[in-house]
Every structure is written in structure tokens, then in C-alpha cells.
Amino acid sequence: MTHDFHPSSLREYDIRGIVGETLGEEDAYAIGRGFATLLRREKGKDSKVCVAVGYDGRHSSPMLEAALIQGINDAGADAKSVGLGPTPMLYYAEAIFDDVDGGIQITGSHNPANYNGFKMVFMGRPFFGEDIQLLGAMAAQGAWDDGTGSVERVDMMDQYVARIADAAPTRGYRIGWDAGNGAAGPVIEKLIKLIPGEHHTLFTNIDGDFPNHHPDPTEEKNLADLKALVAAKNLDFGLAFDGDGDRIGAIDGEGRVIWGDQLLQIFAADMLAERPGAAVIADVKASQALFDRVSDLGGIPIMWKTGHSLIKSKMKQISSPLAGEMSGHIFFADHYYGFDDALYAAVRLMRAAHNLGKDVTKLRGEMKEMINTPEMRFQVDETRKFAVIDEVLARLSADGADVNNTDGARVNTPDGWWLLRASNTQDVLVARAEASSEEGLVRLLAQIDDQLAQSGLQRGETVGH
């Protein structure tokens, strides 16, 4: 038996596709069987292997879970199903259960309702890049182990919620919570009963059609309902979550968005008071204000590649207790397990405000205001996207520009900085710019346009995620 995945489904950080078109039960089976085979070979074929499995609230998730578990079992491994819940609950299960060797979450994350996919962790480390390509090669050859395995169903949501609640401060705040009809909803409803404060919720019922708004808190238009709630109830701040609960969005009491790199400034101030000199990692899209703030606080700012799997790997490598991305992935290895968990980050925001002695609105208001663009994404042929970045880097080097090439080209100028990088998951280039003045931002965007033009491209219209 062999299986061929649709070429678009095997992404850099996960496996993802449109259900019924580029992703289906056969794919789920092949993922389970291949993943379990790799675990058995890592541990030794005679070793007992167990894979934790979870799924989000999409209509297709239970069907994919059944096929995934069948593949795990047919490779001779056991499955421990933690059921419907956010992705970090699956990560938590993988971290705490002694008999679990890896984990797979079925989730479409923040993508439209007809998408679904798989996020994986392998013996405590992210499973991505070449690992995912290996699953594809194994399936094409049918190079799987054979065997039988069992299924155990575990209800662990209360345990997970209690672990998050442990991080809450003694002081309560007046908070709005928008689950966006995603998998975080039931966790939020349980959590707010365990932590102090006054809590108001939106859309905590799971609905795979996402009838109220798209579950992506990094797009400001999706925060409209939360802004209205915070304003109507005069709340201290508001929190929003993506479809699988691993990315957080936030607004302060005045309705201002607190972007991922700004949240990281707050978390860093709290964490570095306890761990002076610690390294804080952020992706290349983050504001210079964040890196400067970490330095001012006595920390070591580390600029790293975009991508939750890449960030988690870097954290392990340098033993960093805190990391984050503009996309809203926040990673705590400080009193936690090092994975991205938006529910835990929400409670840590309460704790940071309490420890720092300032409310969230004041913390947001004290930040240095920068003039920057949102993330701009535009189409480019898959075969050209990395080549274009290479061409840009070569020209910048020849010109003697101040360039950080950690992930694409991040160019520092007297006006500020601009970034051009190739997406690892889509046929797009990603650009961003930040300046201290509107005039400076115009000059930075002109430099991006000039580099693109020299490679036969133009920015054109921004495309979606």
C-alpha cells in the first residue's frame, strides 16, 4: 500500500489543505502510520509507542481523527485521544504524560472553514520541514511498519485549565474574551471560573462555520466585536484567539491593538525582573522598539526566523525562557513548557500587569510609537520566490547596505528598517517597513519597490494568508 499527498499540502511547519480537494481521510491515515513508524524506529521496534491525538472544532476533524488513529494503530502504536480542544492542550498532553512519545493535533488553525491540517511534536521537539517531507516520501513508497495498537480516550481539559489558572495573579481584572467560535471557547468558559476578576465572553460556542468573524486575531477587522465589548462594558482589556488557540490577539482599555511584538515587550519586562540577562527571541518582522526594549531591560534580544517550529527549536537550542512572533504565537519556557499557548499567555498578561504595577492600557500607552506597515504579502511564482531574495541580498551586499539576513533581507537605514522575505508556506513574498516618520516610511517603501523592480517584480495588491 502506498499513498501520494497533494503537493500543496506538505508545508514547512505543518500539513494543511482543503478537505475533499487536497486533504482527506487517506492523508490522515498515511500521516498517522508514517509518524508512528518514525517513533517506533527512533525508540526501537520492540519498544512501546504512544501518540497523543487532539482535534479542533472543524466539521471535518472527527473524520480525520478516526483515520489518523487507524494509521497509528496499523503501525503498531497506541493512541491517546484527548478529544476536542485547542492545539496547546495537545502540546500539554505530550509534555506531561510519561507514556506519550509524540503528538498530533488536527487543526485548520486560522484558515477558512473548509481547510484542515495537522500540527505535530516528536519526542518533545517540533516536527517540521524535512520531517514532513520524509512522511511524504515514506507514504509514496509504503515504507511503513505493520502492527496493531489500542486507543485510549482521556478527558484532560480540566487538568489543562487548572494548570493555566495556576499562573493567575491574586488581583482580578475586568476582561473581555473573544474565542471566535474556535476550539479555545470551552477552555475559556472553564478558566474564567477559576481566576479572579470580572469576565465577559464572546463566541465561546464551537462552530466550524465561524459565523461571527474569521478566527484570526492578527487582522484588526476581526477584533471589531471585542472592541465594542470592551468599550460598552468599560473593561480593562480584551483578548482574542485564533481557531486552535495557539495565537493571541489583544486590545487595551482604549481599544488600541496590542500587537504580538508589543505583548512581548510586556512579557519581557515581567520575566526579566525575575531572570535578568535572559535571552528573548522574536521573529524578523518584529519592531525595533521590541529589541531595544529588551536590551534596556537587561535582556539579550535575539532576532530569529519566522515560524513557530523554528522559534521553538531556537528556544531549546539557547535555553531562552521567552519568545514570540508578530503572528501572535507567544512561547513561555518560563514556568511553562516552551510551546505556544494563547490561553496561558492570556493569564500571563494578567500576571505581568499585576507584577509591574500598571494596568494594560498604561503599559501599552508607554510604548514608543513607531510608524510601520502591516505585513504585506504579494504573489510570486514558487520557483522565483527564494531566488528573488538571493538577488536582493547580492545587490545589497554590493552596495554595502546594513543587512540582517537571518530570514530574508532586513535592511537598516537612518529612516528605520525594511524587510523582504520569502514565505515558507505560500508562493508569496512578505514585506514590512518601520520608520520614525511618515516621510521616512515612504522612502523605505520606495527602496522595497526598487529592489523588486530590479528583479522584475512589483508589490501589487496584498494577498491574504
> Any idea which residues carry the catalytic annotation?
109
Q: In the chain, what is the straight-line distance between the N-terminal and C-terminal CA atoms, in Å?
A: 35
The H or E element containing residue 313 is helix 308-318
Q: What are the distances in angstroms from CA 173 to CA 165, 347, 352, 354, 442? A: 14, 11, 12, 9, 40
| Sign of the four-CA dihedral 284, 453, 462, 422 | negative
Q: What are the distances in angstroms from CA 329 to CA 211, 224, 249, 332, 341? A: 24, 21, 9, 10, 7
DSSP 457: -
Asked if 153 and 139 count as a contact pair (C-beta separation under 8 A), the reply is no
Kindly give, in sequence order, each residue whose CB lies less than 8 Å from that of residue 194, ignoring residues fewer than 6 positions away.
Answer: 161, 162, 165, 168
Asked if 221 and 250 count as a contact pair (C-beta separation under 8 A), the reply is no
DSSP 380: -
Residue 21 cell numbers, joined: 480537494
C-alpha–C-alpha distance, residues 226 and 236, integer Å: 12
Query: Which residue's C-alpha cell is 496493531?
Result: 148
Burial 292-323 (b: 16+ CB within 10 A, else e): ebbeebebebbbbbbbbbbbbbbbeeeebbbb
Q: How many residues does the chain have?
A: 465
Asked if 309 and 129 count as a contact pair (C-beta separation under 8 A), the reply is yes
